[in-house]
């Protein structure tokens, strides 16, 4: 059984696809960390407070790992310690472990692989839209 609900995911994609409210338009700055956090919290139907507790419950750990995985995958210029610090004050080794854990889940659960791939695509598309918007505003 997959952790992410397929129906909720479809609603989230439609709802967030063109939602550029994660950007600050005056300076045209996209906070990739915050966008990923909001996307994952929405997808997993969890509050920010719930995700950032020091709980070791599987659903909380999975959410944090998924955020770290997406950040490491899409925020290429960010160093691991900065990613870990933003998503709960963890060190670089935790970020590496998070990426490996999510990769292992994706290798063994094809439904989860598709869902994480869709989330990853959502981050990629939003960043692309942001870059286009930024270029057009100059």
pLDDT of residue 48: 92
pLDDT tops 90 at residue 110 = yes
pLDDT tops 50 at residue 76 = yes
Closest to 36 (Cα-Cα) out of 68, 2, 76? 68
pLDDT of residue 30: 67
First to last CA, the chain: 47
Asked if 28 and 129 touch (Cβ cutoff 8 Å), the reply is no
pLDDT tops 80 at residue 35 = yes
Closest to 100 (Cα-Cα) out of 132, 9, 1, 108? 108
Domain locations along the chain: 6-137
pLDDT of residue 91: 93
Question: What gap in Å lies between CA 94 and CA 46, rounded to an integer?
Answer: 21
User: Both tokens of residue 22?
Assistant: 């994660």
pLDDT of residue 58: 93
Encode burial over 13-26: b for 16+ CB neighbours within 10 A, e otherwise.
Answer: beebeeeeebbeee
pLDDT tops 60 at residue 70 = yes
Q: Nearest 5°: CA angle at 58, between 57 and 64?
A: 95
Higher per-residue confidence, 59 vs 134: 59
**The listed CATH number (3.10.20.30, 3.30.360.10, 1.10.10.410, 1.10.1750.10) that belongs to domain 6-137:** 1.10.1750.10
- Eight-class DSSP state of 4: S
Higher per-residue confidence, 82 vs 8: 82
pLDDT tops 90 at residue 2 = no
pLDDT tops 60 at residue 64 = yes
Question: What gap in Å lies between CA 7 and CA 70, rounded to an integer?
Answer: 21
Asked if 40 and 60 touch (Cβ cutoff 8 Å), the reply is no
pLDDT digits (tens, 9 = 90+) for 3-17: 444 443 444 433 443
């Amino acid at each position: 059984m997959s952790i992410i609900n397929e129906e909720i995911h479809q609603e989230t994609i439609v709802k967030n696809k063109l939602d550029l409210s994660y950007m600050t338009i005056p300076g045209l700055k996209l906070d990739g960390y915050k966008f990923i956090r909001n996307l994952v919290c929405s997808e997993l139907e969890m509050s920010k407070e719930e995700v950032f507790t020091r709980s070791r419950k599987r659903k909380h750990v999975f959410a944090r790992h998924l955020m770290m995985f997406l950040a490491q995958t899409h925020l290429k210029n960010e160093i691991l310690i900065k990613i870990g610090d933003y998503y709960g004050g963890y060190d670089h080794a935790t970020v590496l472990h998070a990426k490996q854990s999510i990769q292992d889940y994706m290798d063994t659960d094809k439904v989860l692989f598709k869902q994480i791939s869709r989330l990853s695509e959502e981050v990629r598309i939003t960043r692309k839209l942001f870059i286009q918007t930024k270029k057009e505003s100059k």
